Amino acid sequence: MAKRNRELNKKDIIKTWFHRKKNVHRGSFVVNDEYAIKAKKAWYRARSVYKLFEIQERFDLIKPDYSVIDIWCAPGSFLQAIHQIVKEKTIIWVDIQECKQFSYPNVSTIVCSIFDYDKLSEQVINKVWDDQFDLITSDIAPNTTGRFDVDQYASVELNIEICKFSDRFLKKWWNMLLKVFKWEDFNELVNQIKNRFNDMKTYKPQACRDSSHEEYIICLWKKI
């Protein structure tokens, strides 16, 4: 089935050629790296768009007929990539703060914290008639403190809240994409995912900086 879907949607696949060897800048933070420069030239809001393109190329998570909710979306580069694929299907855009809007008619914005479940749930239900989604995506990250142990645990907590959100708003057998700072608290999140999904895979796109501890989790086939 997956092979057939890839063939049917071949025209929608965005080729990014991530198998090519990239230039590496070890031990330093390079603002204008190759992905940042490429994103700016292509009018994408952030270099992170290429992380999602690479994940899509590898795992084929997004289909043209999918409804998607993107959580913690600022500045919006994930949404730009999603919109290229799903086109006219429903996309909900959630962030804790107001973001610069897009003109896409099928995108609805919700300003709310993932920790405020009741408020967020009410707003999602009010926005869409079919309030369960085919896919949840997130490029979530905490406000960093400079202490990696604190930041990493905050990252895990944010993702656990998204897992709880998926209980109600993700369709059974469908998938979710998360980003986490991976370290010693990672297994706490893994346990939450395994309680809810039949399988999971971890992946670090080449578009991630080498110095970054971020890793993406592909949560596959929701159980209930």
What is the spatial distance between Cα 154 and Cα 94, in angstroms, rounded to a whole number? 18
Task: Tell me the β-bridge partners of 91.
Answer: 68, 107
Q: Where are the alpha helices (DSSP H) in 62-204?
A: 77-86, 117-127, 148-169, 186-196
DSSP, collapsed to helix, strand or coil, labels residue 8 as helix
Q: Tokens standing for 116? A: 């405020």
Quote the DSSP letter at residue 217.
E
What is the spatial distance between Cα 52 and Cα 222, in angstroms, rounded to a whole number? 21
Q: Which of 21, 40, 179, 223 is catalytic?
A: 179
Decide if 127 is catalytic: no
Task: Tell me the β-bridge partners of 220.
Answer: 199
Catalytic residues: 179
